[in-house]
Amino acid sequence: MAKLFRIQRRGKSGVTLSRSRGGSVAIFLFLVAASVFMVLPVVYTIVTAFKPIHEIFYWPPRFFVREPTLENFTVLFEITQDMWVPLERYIFNSVFVSVVGTALYVFVASAAAYPLAKYRHKFLDVMYVIVVLAIMFRPEVTRIPTYIIINSLGLVNTYASMILPVLAGSFGVFLLRQFIVNVPDSMLEAARIDGASEYYIYWNIILPLIRPAVLTLVIFTFTTFWNMSGAEYIYDESMRSLASVLTMVAAGGIARAGAGAAVALLMMIPPYAVFIFSQASVMETMAHSGIK
């Protein structure tokens, strides 16, 4: 550690540390190695989608493709064309649920986070504790009671059956509250003195100021909806999502291994596109929200 950092004294009260050039180089090399390690699965997924079937089963496995081909995508297209429900219907289902569900969840989470962050009441304090505790529960734990509620409301085989359970998630409320807490109270009081309503403050002051957190939540929520199969609540074939149909295609055995690789790539593209569009906001959110 002595080689990585230099001790600099400032006055009589404290000691500060500054990195030496060797320390900066070592940290840079470590971050590069960690980045490469995390990127490898993504690169392997992309490469595998263009491998012919015999290269997929090479032993020992080969990382890069030697004879790239589009055969996997052709086979996938042929399989989906033989379905009695058009592929466009499955795409519409996934896009509709992902877009509408993401918009609704961001609205619900931000509207719930605002009073939790800026109002003082014992009831709200208890609610915040419940929100934090709810983060620890995996969706599998509540799957049975959720199904009972969805069924009793008559929402089976509807888009609402895939959207409503996600709206009950508390992570978005916690994330946005961490940002709203940092909004100066004086700014909100000044708006109230000028006659602004709470809705106006929420829509025109709070949301613009927490835009990085909102975009981060959009990424997480969109990915959740996009990868959702909805098999627990959807039994009508025409209501199935693209993820559930492509998963069934990929599970067709060894003969469909190539199509499965193409499925993995296609399902990965939309979430990554949303992430690339908003990556700067994600980094800003993680730096200020207290999430490590």
Range of the domain at 122: 78-288
For residues 215-243, give the mean pLDDT.
87
pLDDT of residue 11: 47
Residue 268 domain-assigned (yes or no): yes
How much is the pTM? Answer: 0.78
pLDDT of residue 190: 92
3-state secondary structure of 104: helix
Q: Is 167 exposed, middle or buried (0-12, 13-18, 19+ CB in 10 A)?
A: middle
User: Among 9-18, 22-31, 58-67, where is mean pLDDT lowest?
Assistant: 9-18
pLDDT of residue 7: 47
Residue 92 domain-assigned (yes or no): yes
Is 135 within 8 Å of 246 (Cβ atoms)? no
Residue 47 domain-assigned (yes or no): no
Q: Is the pLDDT of residue 292 over 80?
A: no
Residue 70 domain-assigned (yes or no): no
Is 78 within 8 Å of 197 (Cβ atoms)? no
What is the total count of domains within the chain?
1
Contacts of 185 (CB under 8 A, 6+ apart): 118
The closest alpha carbon to 160, from 95, 90, 210, 234, belongs to 234
User: Where does the pLDDT of residue 35 fall: very low under 50, low under 70, confident under 90, or very high at 90 and above?
Assistant: confident
Residue 253 domain-assigned (yes or no): yes
Task: State residue 145 phi and psi, 5-degree precision.
Answer: -60, -35
Is 282 within 8 Å of 275 (Cβ atoms)? yes
Is 139 within 8 Å of 228 (Cβ atoms)? no
Residue 112 domain-assigned (yes or no): yes
User: Where does the pLDDT of residue 253 fall: very low under 50, low under 70, confident under 90, or very high at 90 and above?
Assistant: low
User: Where does the pLDDT of residue 81 fall: very low under 50, low under 70, confident under 90, or very high at 90 and above?
Assistant: confident
3-state secondary structure of 7: strand
pLDDT of residue 260: 82
CATH of the domain at 102: 1.10.3720.10
pLDDT of residue 281: 61
Residue 25 domain-assigned (yes or no): no
Q: Is the pLDDT of residue 273 over 90?
A: no
Residue 127 domain-assigned (yes or no): yes
For residues 257-269, give the mean pLDDT.
83
Q: Is the pLDDT of residue 291 over 60?
A: no
